[in-house]
Structures are given as C-alpha cells and as structure tokens.
Structure 1
Amino acid sequence: MTKKITISDVAKKAEVSKSTVSQFLNERFDYMGDETRARINKAITELGYQPNVVARSLKLKSTSTIGVIVANILHAYSTQVIRAIENVCNENGISTIICNADDNPQKERKYIETLLAKQVDGLIVVPLKGNLEIYKKLLKQDFPIVFLDRLVEGLDAETVILDNERASELAVNHLLENGYKKIAIVTASLTDSVTPRIERINGYKKALEKNGITVQEEYIKGMELDSFDQGLDELFSLDIKPDAIISGNDLSLMEILKYTFENDIRVGKDTGLITVDEVSFGPIHSPPLTTIAQPTFEMGMEVATILLDKIKDKKLKQDSVVHRHEPSLIIRNSTKKEGEPSE
C-alpha cells in the first residue's frame, strides 16, 4: 500500500517547519522568502503531495467554490451564460458547481440546501417562484447571492437581466418595417409570471400601441410546451391569421418550427418569424432565422464579477440594483417577404 504523503514529509524534504508549509498552503507569504517558497513548491511537486482541501477550507473559511442554479439548462441562454460564469471563476481560482432546477421549485430548494451544506462561498441563481423565504433568510445573513434573468419581488438582491421590453420592441419594429401588420407573440407558460416572458409580452403590446396598432389578445399565446400544437392550431385557424410570429425564447422556437414543418407553413413566405435568443442553428436554418440576441457572455461575466466582489468584500451591502443589458437585432431571411432579395 502506498504511503500517504503528509505535510511533515513536505516540511522534511523542504527543510522547513510544518507551520511554514502550512503558511505556504494558506498563501500567507508576508514573511516568507522567494527561495523558501520555491523549495516548498518543489517538495510538494516531487512528493506529489495533495493538501486536505476540506481542512484548508475550514481554516480559510472559504471553499473557493460557488454554486450556480439555473431554472432550465436546456435553454441556449443557460449554457451560454454558464460558460461565461465558469470562465471568470476559473480565472480567479474559483470552482463552480452547476445545478439544473428543471423548472421545479422543490428541486431548486434541494440544490440550495446541498450547496450550502457544501459551504459554497456564494450563489448565482436563475430563481423560480416558491423559495422566497429561503432567499430572504440568506440575504438577511448577508450571504453572497446574485440573481440572473429573473426578478424576485420583495427581495433586495442584485440582478443581471436583459432589457426584455426593448427586445420585443426591436422585433415588432423590424417586422413592421418589413411590411408585416398582423404580428403574434408565442411563448412558454405565463402561469408563474416568469419575468422575461411577462416583460417581452408587455414590450410587444407597447411597441404595437406606439405604432398605432391595436393589440389583438388572440395573437398572444403563453403555453406549456406540450400544448403548442393546440395553441398554434388556434392561431392559424383565426379568420384573420397572423402574418408574422415572435417566438418568446429558444424552446418556444423549436415547437414553432416543428409545427410549421408538419403543417407545410413556409417560414419567411407564409409567415414571418423572429425569435428572442440566438440559437446555434439560426444562421444555417432554411431560411436563416432573424434573431433578437442576448449578450449572454457579457451577462455571465458581469454576474460572476458581482458575486466574486461580494465574496471578497463582506462589507458590500446587499441591494436591489438591476443591471439591464441591451439586446441586439440579427437580421436574416425568416422575416423577408416573398420576392424580396436575400442578403
């Protein structure tokens, strides 16, 4: 059986005391010469010494780990933002534990409890409805936490989110400029008042009214994903059918594309289509999809930076600052009327 290398073995090989090795491991270099540090580092490398991470965390009162809980990891937004968060954390020597709540508040609560038990230094959360009291308690204890993508009413928590109303305004204006007049918006269920969905519908209504167009409530659909066929059937069975659709997010887009394919509705010809959330296949779809893109990388970088600042400086006050990010319009052929030239 291979003998476990201990801190005593490192101290002996480096010809220093155990306390000096301990100071090195805990990054207390104030009174340690470069030559001593190099000797200890060499001894650790040659012996293959693995520090006791748990014991070190207890001493430092830090695990150098954060938790990230997303509502649904299937969203392109989630994976793109996570990538940016992980990049920032990795550059700062912080590990990330990624959890997928699957739009289930009970699962979200379980992950919160698990991450706290693992003594993570902070949390980034795309919050679900139903765990308000847990978040209130954490914020009252000044536990570092930052929300992403969704606002939680009644909490003084810093939040990074898209300017969702502006996203819908860009979509409506672009469609009107391209000759569409009867514009529908289709998104996932509105039951839990998920911030982006509600704000995007509000932005859609405001943009139509701003352009002197009466809002048709039958053109607004918020549905569970398994009800999309029925909802789209209703939409395309109207006496005055919509001539363009705004898809509220990437998962809604998949259901819309599936429906149009199965019902021989030609995107870009029979109906215009614009989606919020850039998807990987957007540029290569036939026709290529016009998109309202979120600056996901910048949002992920910002939310990670805010959290790490809170972890480093415990005196930073928890507040309800909302950081809104500007969406951008990517014009492709799914919003071009038949007969118009392609780009």
Structure 2
Amino acid sequence: MKSVTIADVAKHSKVSKSTVSQYLNQRYEYMGEETKARIQDAIKQLGYRPNIVARSLKQKSTTTIGVIVANILHAFSTQVIRAIEDVCHDYDFHTIVCNADDDPEKEKKYIEMLHAKQVDGIILFPTGGNIELLRTMKDNHFPLVLMDRLIDNVELPSVLLDNEKASSLAVEHFVEKGYSRLGIMTTSIIPNVTPRIKRVEGFKKTLKQLNLPVNDNYIKSLDLKHFEQALEDMLSLEEPPEAILAGNDLALMEMLTFIKKKKLRIPEDVALIGIDEVSFASFYNPSLTTVAQPAFKMGKKAAELLLNKIQKKDKDEPGKIYEFQPKLIERESC
C-alpha cells in the first residue's frame, strides 16, 4: 500500500506543499480558514500521517524528553511526572518515563537508551552512582536537569525541596503539641540520597535548637523490610518515643501497617507526622498530619528549565539550585 505524502495532500486540497507544511507546523498566520479546512479534510480523507522520523531529522529534534525517576512508587514521583507531562503537552513535546529502582546500573542503561532514541533532554532523579556519566553529558552540552536530589561536584540545574525545613516544621509542631521524646524513621541513607540525609540532619538540628535531647535510639534509616523490627525495638524501650516523623510516604505506610498490626492508637500511643502528602491522609482514621511538598510546582519548574535549555533560552547559571518550601498540613495524628 502506497504511503500518502505531503504532495498528495497538497494536490487533493489544491494548495502548495509549503502551505501544507505550514499547516502541519501550526503556522496559520497567512492562511485563510477555507484553506485550513481543505487541508484538514484532505488529511482526513487520505489518511495522511506525518513522517515523524523525517521531521526529526530535518528539525534536529525529536520533540521528546526522558524522565528517569529513582523510585516510581513514591507519590511525589508520580505527581512530578504529571506536572512535567502537562508542561510538555503545552509545548507539543512527548515524554518517556523510566523507573531506575534506585539502581545506578539500571539508571545508566536508561540514560543510554534515551540517548539512542535521540531525546532532546532528560529530567533525572539521580541515584548518585553515575557521576562521571553525568559530567560527560554536561561537558557535551546535553540538556539535563536534576530533580529531588543533588550530585556533588557536578554543576547542573537542580529542583528540590528545602528538606531540612520539612523536618523542622514537623519537630516544631510535635513540640507545640507537648511531645519531647521524638523519633524519625527514613528509608536507607546509604546511597547518599539528598532528601533522606537532609531530613535527618534537619531533625537533629531542630532538636538541638529547641534544647531537646537527640536520642540515637529514636533515629533509624534502613531498608523498608527492616522497619517492623526497628519499630518493635524502638517502642519496646523503657522510654519509647512519644512521636515519630516518617521521612517519606513509603516509610509512613510501613509505620501505619505496624501500628495497625499492633493495635496501637494514634496519637495516644504514638503521635505521627509524615513528610509527603499522601492521597489518603485526609480520610485515614485518624487523619494524618503531613508536611507536603509542592510537587506540581517543582515538576513544572523542572520541565520549564529543560525546555528552555533545549530551545536555547537558558539564561541561568549552570549549577543553580531551585529550592521549594514545604508546608505543614495539620490534622489529627499529632
């Protein structure tokens, strides 16, 4: 079956090939409504489909970006992806989403795959394990924006939360509610993941500022599979913590599972605050106090930064950090 070309559409609609090309590229400035209608009708009748590969070669752009998230199970990741996709849709760009599972090798393979597909740029939630590769990409002027996490000694635009402030808001709220023995649980900090490290640092720093003790028995950073035993040990202490901060949404869900299993009461047996606004926070019983990230604003900013780089409109310094502020949402768990 012979493929339909621009020349066929032009002949059918009685216009030039350049006019059809202008129509396909949405350049309507000098095009009458009747001409547009004829071209549209010809495209529909002939079943014309633009040759995306040919257009990409001509324009030296695939109008596609890659988004590599460290762990797509985080609610924050999916919210950011949605915001990125919304911005890209407005710019007629497509998105390819990849999940690295916090695995540097998997991250590297996805970067190489996206390069092979000739994406115009990448938004990366970095695992921290491919520093030299990222340096090479930067040196080759490949458009790249970091999200949620920082990479030392690589000057790339980065969008993230003020993570120390997130913990600080939670600690201050615990104290306002009369709690003094405070704990925090996060997923493992071994891979040097910026948010987890900064949230623990912010937690300790705020306790010291408020003249409260920093009890290492109340501070746990470990894989999710070890959460149950760690909580068992922590709450079995002679003086257990009265309130615990969940460092992210996955930590929060593990803690809620344990609390339900042990038939503990919130906040009577243990008060709780989670960093990351989860979808069920408002209707969980009791409703959950959270520290929310402005995920949609952060995703929108990352997409705009990348598209500006792709379209050569980038005027900011290479390693600028765009830090967003968290917000405490008070409910019944504290």
Give me the TM-score of the superposition, normalised by structure 2: 0.95
Query: How far apart in 2 are the matches of 1:216 and 1:45?
Result: 70
Aligned pairs for 1:173-188 (under 5 A) are: 173-188=172-187
Partner of 1:117: 116
In the TM superposition, 1:273-292 aligns within 5 A as 273-292=272-291
Partner residue, 1:251: 250
Contact kept, 8 Å, 1:142 with 1:318, in 2: the verdict is: no
Corresponding residue of 1:322 = 321
Matches within 5 A, 1:1-343: 3-22=2-21, 24-26=23-25, 33-34=31-32, 39-313=38-312, 316=315, 319-335=318-334
**Deviation per residue, 1:206-251 (Å, 9 max, x gap):** 1101101121111110010111112112211222110000000000
CA distance in 2, matches of 1:321, 1:106: 27
Secondary structure at 1:186 match in 2: strand
Comparing 127-136 with 12-21, greater Cα deviation is found at 12-21
Q: What amino acid is the match of 1:172?
A: V
5+ residue gaps in structure 1? Answer: 336-343
Answer yes or no: is the 8 Å Cα contact 1:66–1:95 preserved in 2.
Answer: yes
**For 2:164 and 2:18, how far apart are their aligned partners in 1?**
58
- Are residues 307 and 8 of structure 1, via their aligned partners in 2, closer, same or farther at CA, if it must alter by over 3 Å? same
- SS of the residue aligned with 1:96? strand
In the alignment, the residues of structure 2 paired with residue 129 and residue 190 of structure 1 have an alpha-carbon distance, to the nearest angstrom, of 12
> Closer, same or farther in 2 for the Cα pair 1:10/1:226, shift >3 Å?
same
**More divergent stretch after superposition (231-240 vs 196-205):** 231-240
Contact 2:308–2:314 (Cα < 8 Å) also in 1:
no
Write out per-residue CA displacement over residues 239-288 of structure 1, whole angstroms, 9 at most, x where no aligned residue.
Answer: 21100000000000111111111122212110100000011111111111
Over the aligned positions, Cα root-mean-square deviation in angstroms equals 1.8
Match of 1:338 in 2: none
Kept in 1, the 8 Å contact 2:246–2:273? The answer is: yes
Residues 26 and 58 (structure 1 numbering): CA distance in 2 closer, same or farther, change over 3 Å? farther
How far 1:124 sits from its partner (Å)? 0.6
Amino acid at match of 1:75: H
Report SS of the residue matched to 1:285. Answer: coil
Give ranges in structure 2 of 5+ residues lacking alignment.
none
Q: Is the 8 A contact 1:186 1:245 kept in 2?
A: yes
Q: Secondary structure at the match of 1:280?
A: coil
Moved more, 313-322 or 252-261: 313-322
Residue range with higher mean Cα deviation, 232-241 or 273-282: 232-241
Q: In the TM superposition, what is the alpha-carbon distance from 1:21 to its structure 2 partner?
A: 3.5
Q: Secondary structure at the match of 2:58?
A: helix
2:57 partner amino acid: L
Match of 1:200, SS? Answer: helix
Letter in structure 2 aligned against 1:94: F
SS in 2 for 1:51: coil
Aligned-residue offset at 1:130: 1.1
Checking the alignment, whether the CA contact within 8 Å between 1:26 and 1:56 is kept in structure 2 is no
1:55, distance to aligned residue in structure 2 (A): 0.6
| Structure 2 contact 159–321 (Cα < 8 Å) conserved | yes
TM-score by length of 1: 0.92
Distance 2:139 2:40 in 1: 41
Aligned-residue sequence identity (percent) comes to: 52
Which letter maps to 1:322? I
The superposition leaves residues 72-122 of structure 1 with CA deviations (integer Å, 9 ceiling, x where unpaired) of 110000111111111111111111111111111111111111111111111
SS of equivalent to 1:334: coil
- Contact 2:292 2:327 (8 Å CA) reproduced: yes
For residues 6-54 of structure 1, the C-alpha deviation after alignment (integer angstroms, 9 at most, x for no partner) is: 2221121123444554455456678x64465554344223322101001
The answer as to whether partners of 2:305 and 2:314 remain within 8 angstroms in 1 is: no
How many residues end up aligned between the 2 structures?
333
Q: How far apart in 1 are the matches of 2:225 and 2:205?
A: 29
SS, match of residue 175 in structure 2 = helix
